Amino acid sequence: MKIPIQTKVSKNIVFLGLLAYAVIILYPLFWMFISSFKSYQEIYSNVWALPTDWKFENYSIAWSKGISSYFFNSVHVTALTIILTVLIGSMAAFVLSRYKNRWIDAGLLFTIGGLMMNPQVALIPLFEILTVTNLIDTHWALILTYVAYRLPLTIILIRAFFLSVPKELSESALMDGCSEFGIYWRIYLPISLPIVFTSVILTAFFAWNEFLFATVFINSSELKTIPSGLMVFRDALRTDWGVLLSGMVIATVPMIVLLIFLQKYLVRGLAEGSVKG
Amino acid sequence: MKIKKAYITPILFMVPTILFLGLFIYIPLIQNFYNSFFEFSVFSQSKEFVGFSKIKELLVDEVVMIALNNNVKYAIISVLLQVFFALVLAAVLEDKFFRRFAPALRVIYFMPVMISISVIALLFGFVYNPQIGLLNSFLELIGLEELAKPWLGNSTTAIYSVIAMSQWQSVGLITMLFIVAIQKVPKELYEAAEIDGAGKIRKFFKITVPQVKEATFVNLLVTVTGSILVFNEPYILTNGGPGNSSMTLAVHMYQTGFFKDDMGYASTLASLIFLLSAMFALIQIKVSKTGKED
């Protein structure tokens, strides 16, 4: 089959465009990585060059000057958020997919309605509620609110998957004397691991990167998570750009690693999610 | 007795969700509207009823107009890049000419989506830096140094610089959603069109665009809603400045509440943001419901 010359030219132009866009995305990230090994003077005097002297100590300085504590705070908050969101969300999804009556319809509406609310809008009332309950400036302020704002989407995703679990499985389990909890725990949850993974990734990404609540609800520097901690870090460092950039790289690497390992689940989850809107 | 027992598990299973959504989503929503009628500050529990005076304040607040204007700019540019450009990009990546490179390019384009907005905003602080910034030194390198400027410190370019960074981060996500939608289009449609001798551009407009109509509409609404809510990018990069030139509604709300300590007026602003975004969310829920029926 012959390809007309015109198509060949336009194909190459499009390909150059794709490459140019890839460079626009990658170059700043590459620059961030390379410059994280530079001294302030070197970043300032030659912004493009590779480091002449690779300052690996930027990473140990960043780590010991605060990033380690932000990092472990983020791990703590993210891990608990994931566990609670997936557990509570899948339990609700189980009920909402397995039964059918007007209470279930109401419950579904209640859940979907939660999607309409946004963290920005709830900021001030949540600040009041957390102050009154003495949760402000604790990790629970973040964990509880993160769980609440991740639940609607998680429930909708998992429910869509649960709906496809064959009824015969749970019926025969009931015959064998399995409890409702057993059906959830031994049948629905194990079958639905792919969508559970998707929920884990989406929740992890949200909790690891959330900025607004992390800034407003946590005051103590030693309790801050990475996104808000980086701001404290920047203000404390002033001109130590190499160290700041090392901190930024440390904040980024876990998510990139997670993306690479779990990307097939992410794509599948996006497919599920885009069907149901 | 037996029936009652059967209901215990479902009720227990729903209780945590009802508590979480009730306490942290629905009560705050109601409380926010309630707060709009009061004068109060961050650190005091007492609230003074002021009726509709905060709403009157909203109607004459010039910053609201600037912010709304910026939110609209955000929406227009985001729709152009995140909906139209992303759709074209997704179609190109799914084209068999580019199949070989598509997986690598997909991961590259998606990468910024996974990175924290604080990292990205700090990074773009370096890109836009007037002295050493990558953007200015790139312009110098290609001989366009007269275009170099303090991108974030200039009241005409600040908002566009913020918007550009947002696009850099988000286009990949919407592209991915479009790729997923395009992969669901029946292959036979394209094969039939090829037999009829249709070119790529024709296939894009006659098959791809109509077939992913629903995904396009959902992405459109998500993008517009996101533009009404945008907070992180302008807050970290410019804090709404210089002057109020890159202010958005959410940044204005935050500053009013937590810096000017006028929580009542901030709540009024939050109610405005809610009403605007809820409008689009309602349309979205309605549309995706009707989609399920056919």
Q: From CA A102, how far away is CA A108, in angstroms rounded?
A: 10
- The residue assigned the tokens 């007007």 is A102
At what angle are helices A68-98 and A139-162 packed, to 10 degrees?
40
Higher pLDDT, B45 or A256: A256
Tell me the average pLDDT across B42-57. 85
- Contact between residue A47 and residue B134 where contact means Cβ atoms under 8 Å apart: yes
Higher pLDDT, B85 or B145: B85
Residues pairing with B49 in the sheet: B38
Min distance B10 CA to chain A CA atoms (Å): 6
User: So what's the pLDDT on residue A275?
Assistant: 45
Torsion A163-A165-A168-A170 (CA) sign? negative
Higher pLDDT, B1 or A137: A137
Supply angle C-alpha B25, A200, A66, rounded to 5. Answer: 85
**Which stretches of chain A drop beneath a pLDDT of 50?**
275-277
**Which among B6, B114, B258 is the nearest to A259, CB-wise?**
B114
Nearest to A14 by CA among B105, B129, B20: B105
Please report residues of B whose CB lies closer than 8 A to that of A179: 9
- Contact between residue B291 and residue B213 where contact means Cβ atoms under 8 Å apart: no
Please report residues of B whose CB lies closer than 8 A to that of A88: 16-17, 20
Q: Does A248 touch chain B (CB under 8 A)?
A: yes
Residues pairing with B48 in the sheet: B39
Count Cβ atoms below 10 Å from residue B260 Cβ, excluding itself: 11
Please report residues of A whose CB lies closer than 8 A to that of B131: 44
Q: Give the count of Cβ contacts less than 8 A between chain A and B.
A: 237
Q: From CA B150, how far away is CA A144, in angstroms rounded?
A: 41
Please report residues of A whose CB lies closer than 8 A to that of B267: 124-125
Q: Check whether B33 has a pLDDT greater than 80.
A: yes
CB-count burial class (<10 Å; 0-12, 13-18, 19+) for A137: middle
Residue of B nearest to A127 (CA): B42
Q: From CA B152, how far away is CA A34, in angstroms rounded?
A: 24
- The residue assigned the tokens 């609110």 is A145
- Contact between residue A216 and residue A68 where contact means Cβ atoms under 8 Å apart: no
**Which among B184, B232, B274 is the nearest to A121, CB-wise?**
B274
In chain A, which among 85-114 make CB contacts under 8 A with chain B? 88-89, 91-92, 94-95, 98-99, 107, 110-114
**Which among A47, A148, A226 is the nearest to B137, CB-wise?**
A47
Contact residues for A155 (Cβ-Cβ < 8 A; gap 6+): A89, A92, A93, A96, A111, B17
Please report residues of A whose CB lies closer than 8 A to that of B137: 47-48
Count Cβ atoms below 10 Å from residue B142 Cβ, excluding itself: 8
Min distance A243 CA to chain B CA atoms (Å): 13
Q: Are B109 and A92 an interchain contact pair (Cβ–Cβ within 8 Å)?
A: no
**Which among A31, A111, A256 is the nearest to B134, CB-wise?**
A31
Please report residues of A whose CB lies closer than 8 A to that of B24: 122, 126, 129, 144-145, 148-149
Q: Are B284 and A209 an interchain contact pair (Cβ–Cβ within 8 Å)?
A: no
User: So what's the pLDDT on residue A4?
Assistant: 66
Q: Are A271 and B180 an interchain contact pair (Cβ–Cβ within 8 Å)?
A: yes
The secondary structure element, H or E, covering residue B61 is none
Q: Does A261 touch chain B (CB under 8 A)?
A: no
Q: Does A228 touch chain B (CB under 8 A)?
A: yes
Please report residues of B whose CB lies closer than 8 A to that of A118: 229, 273-274, 277
Q: Which two tokens stand for residue B113?
A: 């989506």
Tell me the per-residue pLDDT of B50-65, one tens digit each, with 9 for 90 and over. Answer: 888 889 999 999 999 9
Q: From CA B179, how far away is CA B219, in angstroms rounded?
A: 12
Count Cβ atoms below 10 Å from residue A171 Cβ, excluding itself: 11
Which amino acid is it at B120?
I
The secondary structure element, H or E, covering residue B25 is none
Burial A58-74 (b: 16+ CB within 10 A, else e): bbebbbebbbebbbebb
- Most confidently modeled range among A225-229, A265-269, B38-42, B196-200: A225-229
Whether residue A190 is preceded by a cis peptide bond, meaning omega within 30 degrees of 0, is: no
Q: Check whether B210 has a pLDDT greater than 80.
A: yes
Tell me the per-residue pLDDT of B7-27, one tens digit each, with 9 for 90 and over. Answer: 788 899 999 999 999 999 999
User: So what's the pLDDT on residue B1?
Assistant: 43
Q: Are B116 and A116 an interchain contact pair (Cβ–Cβ within 8 Å)?
A: no
Angstrom CA distances, B131 to A35, B138, B140, stand at: 16, 12, 11
User: So what's the pLDDT on residue A84?
Assistant: 98
Min distance A198 CA to chain B CA atoms (Å): 14
- Contact between residue B209 and residue B178 where contact means Cβ atoms under 8 Å apart: no
Number of C-alpha atoms within 13 angstroms, CB side, residue A115?
20
Helix (H/G/I), strand (E/B), else coil: B48:
strand
Count Cβ atoms below 10 Å from residue A22 Cβ, excluding itself: 16
User: So what's the pLDDT on residue A272?
Assistant: 66
- Contact between residue A196 and residue A86 where contact means Cβ atoms under 8 Å apart: yes
- The residue assigned the tokens 């964990």 is A143
Q: From CA A125, how far away is CA B42, in angstroms rounded?
A: 11
User: So what's the pLDDT on residue B36?
Assistant: 93
Q: From CA B99, how far away is CA B179, in angstroms rounded?
A: 12
Average pLDDT, chain B: 89
Instruction: Write the DSSP assignment of chain A as a string of letters.
Output: -PPPHHHHHHHHHHHHHHHHHHHHHHHHHHHHHHHTTS-HHHHHH-SSSPPSS--THHHHHHIIIIIHHHHHHHHHHHHHHHHHHHHHHHHHHHHHHH--SHHHHHHHHHHHHGGG--HHHHHHHHHHHHHHTT-TTSHHHHHHHHHHHHHHHHHHHHHHHHTTS-HHHHHHHHHTT--HHHIIIIIIHHHTHHHHHHHHHHHHHHHHH--HHHHHH---GGG--HHHHHHHHHHHHTT-HHHHHHHHHHHHHHHHHHHHHHHHHHHHHHHHHHHH-
Q: From CA A217, how far away is CA A221, in angstroms rounded?
A: 12
Residue of B nearest to A133 (CA): B23
Q: Does A125 touch chain B (CB under 8 A)?
A: yes
- Contact between residue B135 and residue A45 where contact means Cβ atoms under 8 Å apart: no
Tell me the per-residue pLDDT of B213-262, one tens digit each, with 9 for 90 and over. Answer: 988 988 898 899 999 999 999 999 999 989 999 999 999 999 999 999 99
Min distance A12 CA to chain B CA atoms (Å): 10
Tell me the average pLDDT across B170-176. 92
Please report residues of B whose CB lies closer than 8 A to that of A35: 126
Q: Does A173 touch chain B (CB under 8 A)?
A: no
Please report residues of A whose CB lies closer than 8 A to that of B101: 15, 18
Tell me the per-residue pLDDT of B265-285, one tens digit each, with 9 for 90 and over. Answer: 999 999 999 999 988 888 877
Contact residues for B53 (Cβ-Cβ < 8 A; gap 6+): none
Q: From CA B240, how far away is CA A159, in angstroms rounded?
A: 40
Residue of B nearest to A146 (CA): B24
Min distance B131 CA to chain A CA atoms (Å): 8
Q: Are A24 and B168 an interchain contact pair (Cβ–Cβ within 8 Å)?
A: yes
Model confidence at B43, pLDDT cuts 50, 70, 90, reads: confident
Q: Does A18 touch chain B (CB under 8 A)?
A: yes
